[in-house]
Every structure is written in C-alpha cells, then in structure tokens.
C-alpha cells in the first residue's frame, strides 16, 4: 500500500454523512451517518474541472463522459482544486497496475487520474468495469446508461424512484444519481 | 554571494530529484494538491504587480522623486516575475508539456489567462526598465510614459487574474469571495513597497544607489495605507464568513485561528503573520514611533514577512481545509520542496546582485538632467516635504 496521501481513487466508499452533509441533522442515528456510500466522478454536465483545465486535457465527451487525456495533461492540478467532490487524484509517483484491468491504459507520474467510466470499454460497446463486476456478482446496485434516452432503463428508474445528487446547489449538474 | 550560489545549486539538485521521482517528494497530497509553490507564486506575482506603486506616482502624478525608486521597482518586478514563473514551472507534474498551454489555448481557464498576462507583463517590464534607463530625452520620454500607462493597468490585471484563478471555484469556499482580488492588491501594495524600502536601505548602505529619503518616505506611506486597507478587507471577509453562520464559509478561518478537528498545522504561521502586522501598523501610524529609524525598518520588514507568510503559505493551503469530503489534513512542505523555493529566491537575489551595475548606470544617465532625490515638480511646490 502506498502512502495514503498519494492514493489514487476512482471509485471508493465514504460515510453517508460526508457524501451528503446537507442530509445530516442533530438527531440522525450514527449507523445511518456511517453507512458506506460509493463515490466516483459525477461526470457533471456543467463540470468545473473541464472549465479550469488550461490545456483541454480533460473535457466532456459528446456522450457526457468527462474524459481525461493523460498524454496532454501538464500536471498543474487545477482540476483537482476545482472539483467540489474530491473525485480527482494525481499520480504523485509512478502508477502501479492498480486498476486490475489488463487493457487499462498505462500512466506516467505527474498526470491527473480520474474515473472515466472506462471510456475504452464504452467505445468497444462494453459497460464500465464497475457495473460489469456488480452485475456479474448478481447485485444490480449499479445502473449505467444514456440519460438523454427517455426510454432507457436508467430513465425508468429515475421516473419511479426518489434520488439524491451530491451538492446539487453548486450547479455542476452531476450525472451520478443515488437511489434512496 | 557564495552562500547564494550554494542555495541556488541546492535548489537545482532538489529539483533534479523531484523530476526523477515525481511530485511525491513534496508534502503535497490528494487533499492538498497545491502548496508552497503555488502560494509563493501568488506572493511573487503580488511583488511583481507592486511596481505600480512607483510607476503610478512617477508617470501619472509626475512625482520626480520616484525617478530612482522607479528603476529599483522595475528591476524587482522583473525578478519577481521570473521567480513567480519558476514557481509555476516547478509545480508542474509534466513540465516538458508546458507549451500545451499555448498549443491548446483554453479561454475558459484562468490559468491560461494567467500565463498570458504574466509573460506579457514580464515583456512590458523589461521594456519599461530599458525605457526608464534610456528614453530620457523629451521626445522619447513621451513613449516611456505611454508604455507605463499600459503597464500600470496590466500590473493590476496580473494580480486580479491570479486572484480570479482562486475566486471562482465552488469547491473552495475559503477563496470564493469577491474580496479576494482587492485583498491581493492591498497586500501586494504593502509587501512590494516594503521590499523596495528594505532593498533601498541595503543599496544605500552599500553605496551603490541612493533612492532618496523622499521616495522612501512616500513608499512607506503607500505601504502603510495598503496594509491598513488589507486589514479592513480581512475584517470584512471575516464578518461575512462568521455572521452568515454558514459552516463552509467559516471552517477555513476556524482552521487558521483555532484549529479544526484537532488539526492545528497553520496556527503558528497564521498568528505569526497577524502578530507581525499588528506590531507594524501602530509603529508606522504613530509619528513618534516611526521616526525611530530602527523601529521603522523592523516594522517594514514585519509587513513584508507578514504578507509572505499569509499569502505565501496560509491563504492557499487553508483553502483546501476541509476537503470536499470534509477531511482535514495538515500540509507540511517537504525538505526538497523548501530547498527548491529557497533556491528560486537565491537565484532571484543573484540576478539582483548581477544587475547592480544597472543602478550605477542609472545614476550616470540621470546625473545631468535630473536632481533625483530632491526634485519636485512645480505643481507639487506647495506640498509639504515628507517626514520620515
């Protein structure tokens, strides 16, 4: 395990109270506060990270994925500073084969790292690895799809269930929804 | 001099180490991705922008007493800009790709504008210095003035853009205040003249260059009121943060003044900065105290160090506390990181020493046509002489 200060995070767990601090109150039970919640890049429609990048090394693709060109990134870390979700990491040292995916692109030290919904898999017609793994294990907790398509299973879920998004008041328009 | 060479060389060695091992050798982290480099950059841009405090009186208000301070101010601005750009360079994870900023211009990024305005200002300042030295005949002095009239708003612009780089981020409530840019300018116009006054003292003692008592006294007035104004702005910011009762508006102040979640990393530095400011202001404002030369010099140095600590460390790193997920992590610059910054300062000091002949040249060039340290325009005839 590397120095926790240098940890690269794509998808990880945080206590509910840290993910949705607006939902907390003085009488909240501790168990619910500490309930683990998955966090990842929100692939915001109005993303501050892509706005601040001085080289367009990170940008929003036409399909809505906030992608990252590790070969163009100059490593200024302005995007990490601008992200209100703490979703971005930096390769402080030479990166290890931490993704577990053999086809995951190799990185150099000195560039920013983030969840990109496995764009190389999306482009090959596959689902992101996290969704794939989740479904392979029989848990259907994660749903991935096209938000713009009103007929998609994703939109059906949004139509029938109440959802939360992280820090909606900031106006970044996260594309990650949490079913309550 | 030998010590400066040693420190500069040490900085180069530390940077070589950083480029080989990655930015992991710094104290930076996932939670605090910007530290000493970017903070010092911010401070140095302020020093560069503070050339306004000599350009404005000399070229706009035609206060000839600033003729020599002008040369000093321009030299300092150029060196500070060089140092600021070095701080950006050493902060990059992939410095070899620096030119991507120009290859893929991104107008929505304040960093893009910062790089453009800073390099532009560096060019303007070099031209300005040459103009102040050589464009002295009535016909070319007109061009020097025209250049200054472009440089003055540009100088203010570089520091405003640097403030906007921070002030527009919803992720960092500590910086998201419209007062940040004016506060940057106020602290710049306090720390810049402070540095000029101290350097002027050194140059006079070394018998290289006499900026003149009048100019120093006037710079001291600018410094004092800029510092008073910065105090007001800090107070205004504290009011909005505390009175509104919004936790995110207040937490970084809590971290700076009391500590947050048991983390007190910046407490000592923050109190050092405030202590120095609160010592300096009465000394500079009360005539009986500021007339004591030694005390006035200490107060001037106190202003400079106060801003150096506040802008060059506390302001930037406290912006990352707490993190978006509510974690508090103290940031400590690592030894290589400190060595690199010290190296950049040593390099700047060496350039200043190498440029000393310029000051001798300035005296020679100006000797025939201007009584530099006592000259006063007809329009200022009724103004009372400045007390020191």
Hey, where are the domains in chain A?
4-179
CB atoms within 10 A of CB B302: 22
Query: pLDDT tier at B202 (50, 70, 90 boundaries)?
Result: very high
CA distance B233 to B169: 20
Contact list, A58 vs chain B (CB under 8 Å): none
Rama region for A117: left / alpha / beta (φ>0; ψ in -120 to 50; rest):
left
Range list of H helices, chain B: 2-21, 36-49, 52-55, 67-91, 100-103, 110-134, 138-167, 180-205, 213-243, 247-257, 267-285, 287-290, 293-309, 315-318, 335-354, 356-367
Per-residue model confidence (pLDDT) at position A104: 67
The arithmetic mean of pLDDT across residues A86-97, rounded, is 87
CB atoms within 10 A of CB B173: 19
Nearest to A54 among B33, B101, B324 (CB): B101
CA distance B82 to B48: 9
Helices B267-285 & B293-309, crossing angle to 10 degrees? 150
Per-residue model confidence (pLDDT) at position B138: 76
Chain A with chain B: Cβ pairs closer than 8 A: 133
Per-residue model confidence (pLDDT) at position A20: 97
C-alpha distances in Å from residue A16, one per residue of A36, A65, B170, B192: 6, 25, 21, 47
Most B CBs within 10 Å, among A12, A19, A50, A77, to test the B interface: A77
Contact list, B88 vs chain A (CB under 8 Å): 76
Lowest mean pLDDT among A52-61, A89-98, B163-172, B228-237: A89-98
Nearest CA in chain B to A83: B171
The encoded tokens of residue B378 equal 């007809």
Residue whose entry in the numeric block shows the structure tokens 């619910």 = A32
Per-residue model confidence (pLDDT) at position B142: 85
Q: Do A73 and B94 touch (CB under 8 A)?
A: yes
* The pLDDT of residue B25 is above 80: yes
Per-residue model confidence (pLDDT) at position B366: 65
* The pLDDT of residue B370 is above 60: no
With a CB cutoff of 8 Å and minimum separation 6, the contacts of A1 are none
Query: pLDDT tier at B364 (50, 70, 90 boundaries)?
Result: confident
Give B97-107 pLDDT, tens digit per residue: 999 999 999 99
Nearest CA in chain B to A94: B22
CA distance B385 to B364: 26
How close does chain A come to B11, measured CA to CA in Å?
Answer: 20
The arithmetic mean of pLDDT across residues A85-89, rounded, is 97
Nearest to B93 among A6, A55, A110 (CB): A110
How close does chain B come to A86, measured CA to CA in Å?
Answer: 5
What is the torsional sign of CA B32, B36, B41, B44?
positive
CB atoms within 10 A of CB B137: 10
DSSP state of B79: H
Per-residue model confidence (pLDDT) at position A103: 67
Give B112-142 pLDDT, tens digit per residue: 999 999 999 999 999 999 988 887 777 788 8
The interface predicted TM-score (ipTM) is 0.93
Nearest CA in chain A to B100: A55
Per-residue model confidence (pLDDT) at position B359: 85
Give A130-139 pLDDT, tens digit per residue: 999 999 999 8
H/E element, A12: strand A11-15
Contact list, B172 vs chain A (CB under 8 Å): 81
Instruction: Give the pTM.
Output: 0.94
Give A134-159 pLDDT, tens digit per residue: 999 998 899 999 999 999 999 999 99
Query: Is A70 in contact with A107 (CB distance < 8 Å)?
Result: yes
The arithmetic mean of pLDDT across residues B142-171, rounded, is 95
Q: Give chain B's contact residues with A (Cβ, < 8 Å).
A: 21-24, 28-31, 33-34, 88, 91-95, 97-98, 100-101, 103-104, 106, 108-112, 115, 165, 169-172, 320, 323-327, 329
The arithmetic mean of pLDDT across residues B33-48, rounded, is 98
Q: What is the mean pLDDT of chain A?
A: 93
The arithmetic mean of pLDDT across residues A82-104, rounded, is 81
Helices B36-49 & B138-167, crossing angle to 10 degrees? 150
The arithmetic mean of pLDDT across residues B222-239, rounded, is 97
Nearest CA in chain A to B164: A52
* The pLDDT of residue B377 is above 80: no
Contact list, B265 vs chain A (CB under 8 Å): none
Query: Is A48 in contact with A82 (CB distance < 8 Å)?
Result: yes
Q: Do A55 and B172 touch (CB under 8 A)?
A: no
Q: What is the mean pLDDT of chain B?
A: 92
C-alpha distances in Å from residue B216, one per residue of B199, B227, B285: 10, 16, 15
Query: Is A46 in contact with A172 (CB distance < 8 Å)?
Result: yes
Per-residue model confidence (pLDDT) at position B372: 42
Contact list, B108 vs chain A (CB under 8 Å): 51-52
* The pLDDT of residue B381 is above 50: no
Query: Is B261 in contact with B328 (CB distance < 8 Å)?
Result: yes
- The number of angstroms, rounded, from the C-alpha of B101 to the middle of its chain's C-alpha atoms is 24
Q: Does CATH place domain A4-179 in 3.30.70.20? A: yes
Residue whose entry in the numeric block shows the structure tokens 């168990």 = A31
């Amino acid at each position: 395990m590397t120095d926790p200060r240098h940890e690269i995070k794509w998808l990880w767990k945080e206590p509910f109270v840290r993910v949705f601090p607006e939902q907390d109150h003085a009488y909240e039970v501790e168990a619910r506060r500490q309930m683990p919640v998955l966090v990842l890049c929100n692939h915001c429609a109005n993303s501050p990270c892509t706005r601040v990048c001085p080289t367009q090394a990170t940008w929003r693709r036409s399909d809505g994925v906030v992608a990252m060109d590790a070969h163009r990134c100059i490593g200024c870390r302005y995007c990490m500073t601008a992200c209100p979700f703490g979703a971005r990491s930096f390769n402080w040292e030479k990166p290890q084969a931490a993704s577990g995916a053999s086809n995951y692109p190799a990185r150099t030290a000195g560039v920013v790292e983030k969840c990109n919904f496995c764009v190389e898999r999306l482009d090959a017609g596959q689902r992101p690895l996290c969704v794939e793994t989740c479904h392979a294990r029989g848990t259907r907790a994660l749903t991935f799809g096209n938000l713009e398509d009103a007929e998609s299973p994703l939109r059906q879920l949004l139509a029938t269930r109440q959802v939360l998004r992280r820090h909606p008041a900031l106006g970044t328009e996260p594309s990650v929804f949490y079913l309550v | 001099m030998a010590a400066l060479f040693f420190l500069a060389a040490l900085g180069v060695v530390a940077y070589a180490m950083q480029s080989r091992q990655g930015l992991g050798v710094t104290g930076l982290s996932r939670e605090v991705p910007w530290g000493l480099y970017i903070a010092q950059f911010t401070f140095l841009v302020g020093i560069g922008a503070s050339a306004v405090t000599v350009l404005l009186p000399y070229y706009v208000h035609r206060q000839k007493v600033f003729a020599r301070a002008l040369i000093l101010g321009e030299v300092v601005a150029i060196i500070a800009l060089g140092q600021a750009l070095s701080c950006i360079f050493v902060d990059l994870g992939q410095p070899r790709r620096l030119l991507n900023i120009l290859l893929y211009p991104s107008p929505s990024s304040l960093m893009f504008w910062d790089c453009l305005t800073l390099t532009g200002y560096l060019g303007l300042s070099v031209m300005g210095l040459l103009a102040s030295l050589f464009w002295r005949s009535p016909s070319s002095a007109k061009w020097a003035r025209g250049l200054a009239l472009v440089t003055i708003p540009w100088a203010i612009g570089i520091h405003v853009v640097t403030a906007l780089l921070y002030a527009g981020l919803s992720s960092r409530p500590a910086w998201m205040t419209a007062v940040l840019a004016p506060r940057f300018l106020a602290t710049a116009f306090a720390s810049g003249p402070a540095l000029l006054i101290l350097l002027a003292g050194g140059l006079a003692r070394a018998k290289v260059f006499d900026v003149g008592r009048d100019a120093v006294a006037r710079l001291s007035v600018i410094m004092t009121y800029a510092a008073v104004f910065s105090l007001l702005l800090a107070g205004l910011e504290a009011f909005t943060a505390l009175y509104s009762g919004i936790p995110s508006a207040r937490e970084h102040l809590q971290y700076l003044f009391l500590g947050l979640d048991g983390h007190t990393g910046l407490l000592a530095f923050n109190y050092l900065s405030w202590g120095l400011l609160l010592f300096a202001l009465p000394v500079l404002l009360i005539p009986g105290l500021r007339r004591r030369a030694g005390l006035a010099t200490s107060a001037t140095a106190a202003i400079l160090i106060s801003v150096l600590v506040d802008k060059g460390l506390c302001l930037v790193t406290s912006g990352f506390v707490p993190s978006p997920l509510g974690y508090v992590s103290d940031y400590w610059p690592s030894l290589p990181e400190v060595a690199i910054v010290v190296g950049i300062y040593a390099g700047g000091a060496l350039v200043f020493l190498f440029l000393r002949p310029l000051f001798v040249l300035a005296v020679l060039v100006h000797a025939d046509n201007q009584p530099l340290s006592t000259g006063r325009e007809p329009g200022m005839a009724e103004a009372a002489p400045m007390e020191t």
